[in-house]
Amino acid sequence: MEILLAKNELLDLGHELKGLSIFCHSGRCWVTQSGDGRDHILHSGRSFKASNGRRLIVTATEDCRLMLLGEELEFKYEPLWQRLRCGH
């Protein structure tokens, strides 16, 4: 699933993230994962693999284009996709 974020836009991916990876195609973002004190900055060509069961928040530090990758991602994140499309 491709996600476009504008600078300073926030995306809360929740905590049901089994096997989720984030790949940054362009731009830059900051990835925060609950229980992890490290900062994860992704820029073009970099990726991040989430730990299972931890909440994940992505903040665009500049306009960015991300790809969310994972098993059954389209099925599991359909409600998320609907929220993004509806602006909620």
Domain containing residue 53:
2-86
Give the CA distances from residue 15 to residues 27, 45, 77, in Å, rounded to whole numbers and listed in that order.
24, 24, 11
pLDDT tens per residue across span 16-72: 767 789 999 999 999 998 888 888 999 999 999 988 778 889 999 999 999 998 765
Q: How many separate domains does the chain show?
A: 1
Q: Is the pTM of this model over 0.85?
A: no
For the chain, first and last CA: distance in Å?
18
3-state DSSP helix/strand/coil percent for the chain, to nearest 5?
15, 50, 35
24, 66 Cβ separation under 8 angstroms: yes
Domain of residue 13, CATH code: 2.60.120.10
